[in-house]
Amino acid sequence: MLNRQNLMCRDGCGFATFDFQLKDILEYGIDLINSVEPHNVSLSIHSACRCPEQNEEVGGMSNSYHLEGLAIDFHIDIVPLVVVVYFMRLAAEYYEVSDFIDIVVKEDYMHMEFDKRRWLKKQQEDIK
């Protein structure tokens, strides 16, 4: 359901390198929602991977996580955003990355990003 086609940059450049951990969290979050939701729902993706040109086109910040495949904008039809946020937070907890996932709720979608750099740094510190 999350695949190269729907995560790919929207201008046809072919950039589709989306973070596998963030993908796991999203898929688990959808599974959790579907375990309580009678209809089988899926993500409506507004924007995931973006090349610099596309990022500028849509007015993204120059340091946007979309540029690194570490952010996604989406909503789920018929499921209120607050409910989606709740389950995505649960999924992030399950993968033990809650502290590194940021969610910003907009009017008709949510932006979710994974601070992978900070997460990697934490992993290295934990090894020491």
Nearer to Zn ion, 26 or 54 (CB): 54
Q: Examine residue 13 and tell whether it contacts Zn ion (CB under 5 A).
A: yes
19 in contact with Zn ion (CB under 5 A): no
Residues 68 to 87 in contact with Zn ion, rule: CB under 5 A:
71, 73
Which has the closest alpha carbon to 71: 18, 10, 11?
A: 18
Burial of 86 (0-12, 13-18, 19+ CB in 10 A): middle
Establish if 9 lies at the interface with Zn ion (CB under 5 A): yes
Figure out which of the listed residues 32, 51, 79, 103 binds Zn ion, where binding follows CB under 5 A.
51
Nearer to Zn ion, 11 or 24 (CB): 11
Residue 11 binds Zn ion, judged by CB under 5 A? yes
CB nearer to Zn ion: give 13 or 32.
13
- Residue of the chain from 7, 87, 111, 114 that contacts Zn ion (CB under 5 A): 111
What is the 3-state secondary structure of 9-44?
CCCCCCCCCCCHHHHHHHHHHHHHHHHHCCCCCCCE
Cβ distance 112 to 103 under 8 Å? yes
In this chain, which stretch among 33-41, 50-58, 90-98, 119-127 interacts with Zn ion, using CB under 5 A? 50-58
Q: Please give the C-alpha separations between residue 38 and each of 27, 35, 91, 110, in angstroms, as whole numbers.
A: 17, 8, 19, 22
